[in-house]
Structure 1
Amino acid sequence: MARKIGSRYTANQILGRGSAGTVWLGEGPEGPVAIKLLREDLASDQELVGRFVQERTALLGLEHPNVVSVRDLVVDGNDLALVMDLVRGTDLRTRLDRDRRLAPEAAVAIVADVADGLAAAHAAGVVHRDVKPENVLLDMQGPLGPGGSHPALLTDFGVAKLIDSPRRTRATKIIGTPDYLAPEIVEGLPPRAAVDIYALATVLYELLAGFTPFGGGHPGAVLRRHVTETVAPLPGIPDELWQLIVQCLAKAPASRLRASELGTRLRELLPLVAGMPPLDVDEPDAEPAEDETPAAEEAAPRDEEVRRRGAVPLVPGAKPADSNRDTHTSMRVPAPDELAGGARGTARVPRAAGAPRPGSARHRAVARRRRVALGAAAVVLAAAAGVGAWLATSEDDAGATPQDMNNTAPATP
Structure 2
Amino acid sequence: MARNIGSQYTTHRVLGRGSAGTVWLGEGPQGPVAIKLLREDLATDPELAERFAHERHALLGLEHPHIVGVRDLVIGGEDGQDLALVMDLVRGPDLRTHLERERRLAPHEAVAITAQIAAGLSVAHAAGIVHRDIKPENILLEPAADGTGTPPTALLTDFGVAKLIDEPRHGGKGGVVGTPDYVAPEIVEGLPPRAAVDIYALVTVLYELLAGFTPFGGGHTGAVLRRQVTETAARLPGVPDPLWEVLQQCLAKAPASRLRAAELASRLREILPSLEGLPPLDIGDPDGADEPQEPADPPRPAPGPLPAAVPLVRADIPDDERATHTRMRVPDAEELAGGAHGTARTPRAPGQARAGSARHAAAARRKRRLAITVAAGVLAVVAVGGWLLTGGGDDDSNSHRPPHTTTGEPALAP
TM-score, structure 2 as length reference: 0.80
Instruction: Summarize the Cα distance change of 1:143–1:329 in structure 2 as closer, same or farther, 3 Å threshold.
Output: farther
Structure 2 equivalent of residue 111 of structure 1: 114
Structure 2 equivalent of residue 349 of structure 1: 346
**C-alpha RMSD over aligned residues:** 3.3
Q: For residues 37 and 173 of structure 1, what CA distance do their matches in structure 2 show?
A: 25
Greater fraction helix:
1
Give the drift of 1:167: 2.1
Q: For residues 31 and 106 of structure 2, what CA distance do their matches in structure 1 show?
A: 36
Q: For residues 337 and 112 of structure 1, what CA distance do their matches in structure 2 show?
A: 38
- CA offset digits 1:269-323 (Å, max 9, x no partner): 11221111111113555347623377769xxxxxxxxxxxxxx984279996064
SS at match of 1:90: coil
Give the drift of 1:351: 1.1
- CA offset digits 1:349-369 (Å, max 9, x no partner): 311111123352443377479
Say which of 319, 331, 346 aligns to 2:328.
331
Instruction: Summarize the Cα distance change of 1:105–1:179 in structure 2 as closer, same or farther, 3 Å threshold.
Output: same
Give the drift of 1:370: 9.0
Matches within 5 A, 1:191-270: 191-270=193-272
SS at match of 2:339: coil
Structure 2 equivalent of residue 152 of structure 1: 154
Structure 1 equivalent of residue 295 of structure 2: 291
- CA offset digits 1:247-274 (Å, max 9, x no partner): 0000000000000010111111112211
Contact 1:112 1:262 in 2 (8 A): yes
Structure 1 equivalent of residue 38 of structure 2: 38
Structure 1 equivalent of residue 337 of structure 2: 340
- CA offset digits 1:29-60 (Å, max 9, x no partner): 00000000000110000000000000001000
Structure 2 equivalent of residue 62 of structure 1: 62
Q: For residues 212 and 68 of structure 2, what CA distance do their matches in structure 1 show?
A: 25
Instruction: Summarize the Cα distance change of 1:158–1:314 in structure 2 as closer, same or farther, 3 Å threshold.
Output: farther
Say which of 102, 105, 108 aligns to 2:105.
102
Q: For residues 176 and 16 of structure 2, what CA distance do their matches in structure 1 show?
A: 24
Give the drift of 1:124: 0.9
Question: Does 1:120 pair with 2:123?
Answer: yes
Question: Does 1:87 pair with 2:87?
Answer: no
Q: Which moved more, 1:161-170 or 1:337-346?
A: 337-346
Q: Report how many residues are paired.
A: 367
Contact 1:15 1:23 in 2 (8 A): yes
Contact 1:144 1:151 in 2 (8 A): no
Unaligned runs of 5+ in 2: 311-315, 379-406
Q: For residues 245 and 144 of structure 1, what CA distance do their matches in structure 2 show?
A: 33
- Aligned-partner residue type, residue 245 of structure 2: Q
Contact 1:109 1:267 in 2 (8 A): yes
Q: For residues 241 and 59 of structure 1, what CA distance do their matches in structure 2 show?
A: 32
Instruction: Summarize the Cα distance change of 1:86–1:313 in structure 2 as closer, same or farther, 3 Å threshold.
Output: farther
Say which of 121, 139, 144 aligns to 2:142.
139
Q: For residues 168 and 28 of structure 1, what CA distance do their matches in structure 2 show?
A: 31
- Aligned-partner residue type, residue 290 of structure 1: E
Structure 1 equivalent of residue 20 of structure 2: 20
Q: For residues 345 and 328 of structure 1, what CA distance do their matches in structure 2 show?
A: 21
SS at match of 1:55: helix
What is the percentage of aligned positions where both structures have the same residue? Answer: 66
